Amino acid sequence: MRKLIQVLVSFAFILCSVNSAKILGVFHMPAYSHYQLGDRLLKELAARGHEVTVITPYAEKNPVKNFKQIVLTGAIEKLQPMKDKLFEQTESTVIKSLVWLEVMGLELVDSTLSHPNVQEFLKSNNQFDLVILHQFVNDAFKGFCHYYNAPCVVLSPMAVPCWTHAQIANPDSPAYFPDMYSDPAFDTSFTQRFLNSLLYVGIRLFNHLYAIPRQNEVMHKYFPNAPHLNELYYNTSLILVNSHISINSAVPYLPNVIDIGGYHVKTPKKLPIDLQEYLDGAKDGVVLFSLGSNLQSKNLPKEKRESILKAFSKLKQKVLWKWEDETLPNQPPNVKLSKWLPQSDVIAHPNIKLLITHGGLLSTTEAVYHGVPIIGIPIFADQEKNIALAEKSGYAILVPYKQLTEEGLSHALSEVINNPKYRANVKWRSEIMHDEPIKQLDKAVFWTEYVIKHKGAHHLRSAALSLSWYQYLLLDVIAVVILIIFVPLFVIIKGFKKYCCQKKSIKQVSTKKKKN
């Protein structure tokens, strides 16, 4: 009987401690693809009984159980002019785009924290057991974790760049670890390792000397009692990474870095009737052209648009284009326009031949998930790296934006449509993506609850976090080894020389004496 009560009590304890945690999610980016990542995980946590609050620009139309929103009204409209100019990013350099991202990130952090709805929320008396932060040039949000004295989980929208790794001291040697800004053709040759090392040191210094101090300043503006950001930055419990071994390189992960790439893909829903009929009736197949949710293809320069249309008009396949306007000048008869598409569900249709994409990680993941080859036209951020990797793995062709011409695109289209290697390779990658012991979403939920259950799971912290950089690189040890080897050697050589010289001088003295 006592045993039974014990079991019941501990069962109830488990239910209470994990089943009804209070979780705050901060997914402030006015970019739907970024929000989608948080939304998928947070709604699942809510469905499993947790009380979830999320700070977001995307208001829910209908109420969701256990799911409360603090809506950043006006944020989407405010960022739109910047998004309309995204194609200009193809002209950027690494340094320019680092600064561009950081400046944009800081502005978004500041406008989020100063938003009246967030201010009101901070003043009302809330408590949280966990904070889940979107990880994207927003380290000032670590202030939320301190404010609520709750463990911090971050969700990285991309295969982890070194600015994210640093907070948990994950091994990321530039000898073999590509960064978001690495040369897309990165390999382990001397030149590439040399350049990648320079880049790595550059980004780490940039983060340390430029980004963190600025983020710290913004954090203190809204969380005046927080310690220096350095203390909070290195106190992250867990990194959930929107990446998967089927699409990214094999690199080391500490136990508190968890790959969950593919988790955002939902079981395909029924398509709207017109779309379903259109796809079913395409006996030669359909090419899907979509530049994601941030880039709008209606902002493509006219000359690029014309080249694309000419290449499309030569196809016997149908083309479904996510186009954000009512009309498209010179629209060929085989091209169908749609302002919005349930992208993943469309890709899942068996008649889809290939996806033409900007190479965002969500689109790339969806293509691999459903086994559809890719033509990538990368524009900014990690897109070029994603497509270059896919091309290396033999299921994509990269068409650089600057070389986006009718001939270039036609060539890529005929190659991917007619050469069976692309489909075979992506099918294999797809199999790898699905070859997991548990579903990626369940994995994400498990580790999130794990952090709550173990009060921050600090046993997962790497000892490397307590080292300074020269200790981590063993420079002090190497220095001592050099001393141990070279000091005696030096003493011996010096002694030997002295001995020889003395002998010589004695000889000289004695010969001098003789002469006298």
Ligand X SMILES: *[C@@H]1O[C@H](CO)[C@@H](O)[C@H](O)[C@H]1NC(C)=O
Instruction: Indicate the DSSP class of residue 268.
Output: P
| In the complex, least distance from residue 127 CB atom to ligand X, rounded to whole angstroms | 14
Contact 408, 399 (CB under 8 A): yes
Is 151 or 292 the residue whose CB approaches ligand X more closely?
Answer: 151
Among 91-99, 225-233, 380-388, 418-426, which window interacts with ligand X (CB under 6 A)?
Answer: 225-233
Among 227-235, 282-290, 386-394, 461-469, which window interacts with ligand X (CB under 6 A)?
Answer: 227-235
Verify binding: residue 227, ligand X, rule CB under 6 A: yes
Q: Which amino acid is at 330?
A: N
- Say how many CA atoms lie within 13 Å of 495 toward its Cβ: 6
Is 216 or 338 the residue whose CB approaches ligand X more closely?
Answer: 216
Among 38-46, 56-64, 228-236, 361-369, which window interacts with ligand X (CB under 6 A)?
Answer: 228-236
| In the complex, least distance from residue 303 CB atom to ligand X, rounded to whole angstroms | 53
Among 191-199, 226-234, 253-261, 322-330, which window interacts with ligand X (CB under 6 A)?
Answer: 226-234
Instruction: Indicate the DSSP class of residue 64.
Output: B
Contact 179, 162 (CB under 8 A): yes
Among 21-29, 121-129, 232-240, 374-382, which window interacts with ligand X (CB under 6 A)?
Answer: 232-240
Is 148 or 200 the residue whose CB approaches ligand X more closely?
Answer: 148
Q: Which of 235, 242, 246, 294 binds ligand X (CB under 6 A)?
A: 235
| In the complex, least distance from residue 43 CB atom to ligand X, rounded to whole angstroms | 24
Q: What character string, x for contact with ligand X (CB under 6 A) and - otherwise, covers 148-167?
A: ---x----------------
Verify binding: residue 143, ligand X, rule CB under 6 A: no
In the region spanning residues 72 to 101, those forming contacts with ligand X, defined by CB under 6 A, are none
Is 139 or 384 the residue whose CB approaches ligand X more closely?
Answer: 139
Q: Which of 120, 217, 231, 277 binds ligand X (CB under 6 A)?
A: 231
Is 256 or 343 the residue whose CB approaches ligand X more closely?
Answer: 256
Is 262 or 456 the residue whose CB approaches ligand X more closely?
Answer: 456
| In the complex, least distance from residue 451 CB atom to ligand X, rounded to whole angstroms | 8
Contact 344, 370 (CB under 8 A): yes
Query: Which of 174, 200, 199, 198 has its CA nearest to residue 187?
Result: 174
| In the complex, least distance from residue 149 CB atom to ligand X, rounded to whole angstroms | 6
| In the complex, least distance from residue 229 CB atom to ligand X, rounded to whole angstroms | 11
Q: Which residues sit opposite 376 in a β-bridge?
A: 357, 398
Q: Which of 40, 146, 322, 349 binds ligand X (CB under 6 A)?
A: 146
Is 227 or 342 the residue whose CB approaches ligand X more closely?
Answer: 227
Label the pairing between strands 352-357 and 51-56.
unpaired
Quote the CA–CA distance of 444 and 441 in Å, as a whole number. Answer: 5
**N residues, the chain:** 516
Binding residues with ligand X: total (CB under 6 A): 8
Is 220 or 411 the residue whose CB approaches ligand X more closely?
Answer: 220
Query: In which residue are the tokens 């050697």 written?
Result: 489
Label the pairing between strands 51-56 and 67-71.
parallel
Is 136 or 223 the residue whose CB approaches ligand X more closely?
Answer: 223
**In which order are the strands placed within the sheet that holds 396-398?**
335-338, 318-322, 286-289, 352-357, 374-376, 396-398
Quote the CA–CA distance of 295 and 90 in Å, as a whole number. Answer: 12
Verify binding: residue 237, ligand X, rule CB under 6 A: yes
Own/partner contacts of 276-283, CB < 8 Å, gap of 24 or more, are: 278/318, 278/320, 278/336, 279/320, 279/346, 279/349, 279/351, 279/352, 280/351, 282/317, 282/318, 282/351
Is 109 or 229 the residue whose CB approaches ligand X more closely?
Answer: 229
**Strands annotated E in 1-143:** 22-26, 51-56, 67-71, 130-134
Mind giving me the DSSP string for 160-175? PPHHHHGGGT----TT
Is 130 or 275 the residue whose CB approaches ligand X more closely?
Answer: 130
Neighbours of 284 (CB within 10 A): 13
In the region spanning residues 102 to 131, those forming contacts with ligand X, defined by CB under 6 A, are none
Query: In which residue are the tokens 């009929």 written?
Result: 277
Contact 32, 76 (CB under 8 A): no
**Strands annotated E in 191-270:** 238-241, 257-259
| In the complex, least distance from residue 151 CB atom to ligand X, rounded to whole angstroms | 3
Q: What character string, x for contact with ligand X (CB under 6 A) and - otherwise, covers 415-454?
A: ----------------------------------------
Q: What residue is closest to ligand X based on CB?
A: 456
Q: Which of 30, 161, 184, 456 binds ligand X (CB under 6 A)?
A: 456
Is 131 or 372 the residue whose CB approaches ligand X more closely?
Answer: 131
H, E, C per residue of 294-341: CCCHHHCCHHHHHHHHHHHHCCCCEEEEECCCCCCCCCCCCEEEECCC
Can you give the binding site for ligand X, defined by CB under 6 A? Answer: 146, 151, 227, 231-232, 235, 237, 456
